[in-house]
Structure 1
Amino acid sequence: YLNQFDFLYNAVGIKSAAWVYFGKEPKDLKVEEAALLVGMVKNPSYYNPVRKPERALGRRNVVLNLMKENDMITKEEYDSLAALPIKLDFHRVDHKEGTAPYFREQIRLMMQAKKPVRSDYPSWDDQTYRTDSISWERNPLYGWIEKNPKPDGSKYDIYTDGLKIHTSIDSRMQQYAEEAVAEHMGGYLQPAFDREKKGTKNAPYSTNRTEISEIRVNHLIRNAMKLTDRYRMMKKAGASMEEIKTAFSTPREMKVFSYTGPIDTVMTPMDSLLHQKKFLRTGFMAMDPVNGQVKAYVGGPNFSFFQYDMVSQGRRQIGSTMKPFLYTYAMEEGFTPCSMFSNTQPVFTDELGRTWAPRNAGSARVGEDVDLRWALTNSNNWISARLISQLSPEELVRTIQNFGVTSRLDPVMSLCLGPADISVKEMVSAYTAFSNKGMRVDPIFVTSITDSNGNVISEFTPRHTEVISETAYWRILSMLLGVVDSGTGNRIRRAPYNLTAQTGGKTGTTNYNADGWFMAFTPRLVAGTWVGGEERFIHFNGMANGQGASMALPIYGLFMKKVYGDSSLPYRQTDRFEFPANVDLCSGEFSDIPVEDAAADISMAEDVFD
Structure 2
Amino acid sequence: MIVKLAQQDIRRYNRFIWKIVIGGFAIVVLLFVAVGLGLFGPLPSFRDLENPKSNQASEVLSDDGTRPLGSYYWENRSPVTYKELSPNLVHALVATEDTRFYKHSGIDFNRVFTIVLYNMIGKKQGGSTITQQLALNLYSERSHNKAKRFIQKLKEWITAVRLERHYTKEEIITMYFNTVSFGDYNTFGIKMAAQTYFSTTPDKLTPDQAAVLVGMVNAPALFSPIRHPKRSQDRRDFILGRMADEGFLSDGQVTEYRAKPLGLKFHRIDHNEGLAPYFRQTVKDEIRKILKDNGIVKPDGTQYDLDRDGLRIYTTINADMQKYAEEAQATYMRNLQAQFNEQWRGVKLSKSIHNYDLLIRQGMLRSDRYAFLKDQDKTDEDIREDFNTPTSLQLFTWHGKIDTVMKPIDSIVYNKLLLRNAMMSMDPVTGHIKAWVGGINFEHFKYDQVKQGARQVGSTAKPFTYSVAMENGDSPCRQVNNVPDTIYTPGSAPWCPRSGPKETIPGMLTLRQALAHSQNWITAHLMKEIGPVPVMELIKKAGITTQVQPYPSICLGVFDASVFDMTGAYTIFANQGIWTQPTWLLRIEDKNGNVLYTQHTPVKQVLNPQTAYVMTYMLKGVIEEGTGVRLRYKYNLNNPIGGKTGTTNDNSDGWFIGITPQLVTGVWTGCEDRDIHFRSTSQGEGANSALPIFALYMQKVYANPALGIKKNVDFVKPQNGVEIVTDCSVYNQAQTGQPASPAAPDKKLGF
Partner residue of 1:100?
276
SS at match of 2:429: coil
Equivalence map 1:348-427=2 (5 Å): 348-352=487-491, 354-361=493-500, 362=502, 364-366=504-506, 368-427=507-566
Alpha-carbon displacement from aligned partner over 1:506-537 (angstroms, at most 9, x marks no partner):
11010000001001111111101101111101
1:153 to 294, 297, 301: 301
> Would you say 1:438 and 2:612 are equivalent positions?
no
SS at match of 2:304: coil
Alpha-carbon displacement from aligned partner over 1:329-349 (angstroms, at most 9, x marks no partner):
222223232344342212234
Equivalence map 1:461-472=2 (5 Å): 461-472=600-611
Identity, % of aligned positions:
40
In the TM superposition, residue 320 of structure 1 has moved relative to its aligned partner by 0.7
* AA at the equivalent of 1:103: F
CA contact (8 A) 1:145 1:155 kept: no
> Would you say 1:273 and 2:447 are equivalent positions?
no
In the TM superposition, residue 12 of structure 1 has moved relative to its aligned partner by 4.6
SS at match of 1:447: strand
Partner residue of 1:163?
311
Equivalence map 1:59-138=2 (5 Å): 91-112=267-288, 114=289
- Counterparts in 2 of 1:585 and 1:515: CA distance versus 1, 3 Å: farther
SS at match of 2:530: coil
In the TM superposition, residue 171 of structure 1 has moved relative to its aligned partner by 2.1
- Counterparts in 2 of 1:302 and 1:57: CA distance versus 1, 3 Å: same
Alpha-carbon displacement from aligned partner over 1:115-149 (angstroms, at most 9, x marks no partner):
xxxxxxxxxxxxxxxxxxxxxxxxxxx55697422
SS at match of 2:436: strand
State the distance in 1 between where 2:250 and 2:301 align. 48
CA contact (8 A) 2:423 2:563 kept: yes
Partner residue of 1:347?
486
Partner residue of 2:194?
18
- Gaps in structure 1 of 5+ consecutive residues: 115-141, 594-601
1:184 to 332, 337, 346: 332
CA contact (8 A) 1:450 1:457 kept: yes
Partner residue of 2:426?
287
Partner residue of 1:193?
340
State the distance in 1 between where 2:293 and 2:251 align. 50
- Counterparts in 2 of 1:13 and 1:427: CA distance versus 1, 3 Å: farther
CA contact (8 A) 2:613 2:715 kept: no
* AA at the equivalent of 2:340: F
CA contact (8 A) 1:397 1:409 kept: yes
- Counterparts in 2 of 1:55 and 1:144: CA distance versus 1, 3 Å: farther
> Would you say 1:300 and 2:439 are equivalent positions?
yes
State the distance in 2 between where 1:184 and 1:477 align. 27
In the TM superposition, residue 22 of structure 1 has moved relative to its aligned partner by 5.2
TM-score (norm 1): 0.81
Alpha-carbon displacement from aligned partner over 1:72-107 (angstroms, at most 9, x marks no partner):
57999999999x999987654222133222222223
Partner residue of 1:121?
none
> Would you say 1:515 and 2:653 are equivalent positions?
yes
Partner residue of 1:118?
none
In the TM superposition, residue 503 of structure 1 has moved relative to its aligned partner by 0.7
State the distance in 1 between where 2:454 and 2:311 align. 32
SS at match of 1:244: helix
Alpha-carbon displacement from aligned partner over 1:277-299 (angstroms, at most 9, x marks no partner):
11111111111111222222211
SS at match of 1:307: coil
SS at match of 2:474: coil
Q: Name the count of aligned residue pairs.
A: 559
Partner residue of 1:226?
365
In the TM superposition, residue 579 of structure 1 has moved relative to its aligned partner by 2.5
CA contact (8 A) 1:338 1:586 kept: no
Partner residue of 1:248?
387
Partner residue of 1:428?
567
Partner residue of 2:699?
561
Alpha-carbon displacement from aligned partner over 1:145-186 (angstroms, at most 9, x marks no partner):
974222222222334323222222222222221221112110
* AA at the equivalent of 1:199: G
State the distance in 2 between where 1:309 and 1:432 align. 22
SS at match of 1:162: coil
* AA at the equivalent of 2:357: N
TM-score (norm 2): 0.66
CA contact (8 A) 2:279 2:437 kept: yes
State the distance in 2 between where 1:535 and 1:415 align. 22
In the TM superposition, residue 505 of structure 1 has moved relative to its aligned partner by 0.8
Equivalence map 1:531-610=2 (5 Å): 531-580=669-718, 586-587=724-725
* AA at the equivalent of 1:240: T
* AA at the equivalent of 1:218: D
State the distance in 1 between where 2:246 and 2:293 align. 43
Partner residue of 2:20?
none
Deviates more, 1:330-339 or 1:433-442: 330-339
State the distance in 1 between where 2:663 and 2:274 align. 25
* AA at the equivalent of 1:321: T
- Counterparts in 2 of 1:459 and 1:72: CA distance versus 1, 3 Å: farther
State the distance in 2 between where 1:2 and 1:291 align. 42
State the distance in 1 between where 2:292 and 2:253 align. 50
In the TM superposition, residue 316 of structure 1 has moved relative to its aligned partner by 0.5
CA contact (8 A) 1:146 1:155 kept: no
Partner residue of 1:5?
179
State the distance in 2 between where 1:520 and 1:6 align. 49
- Counterparts in 2 of 1:46 and 1:459: CA distance versus 1, 3 Å: farther
Deviates more, 1:446-455 or 1:56-65: 56-65
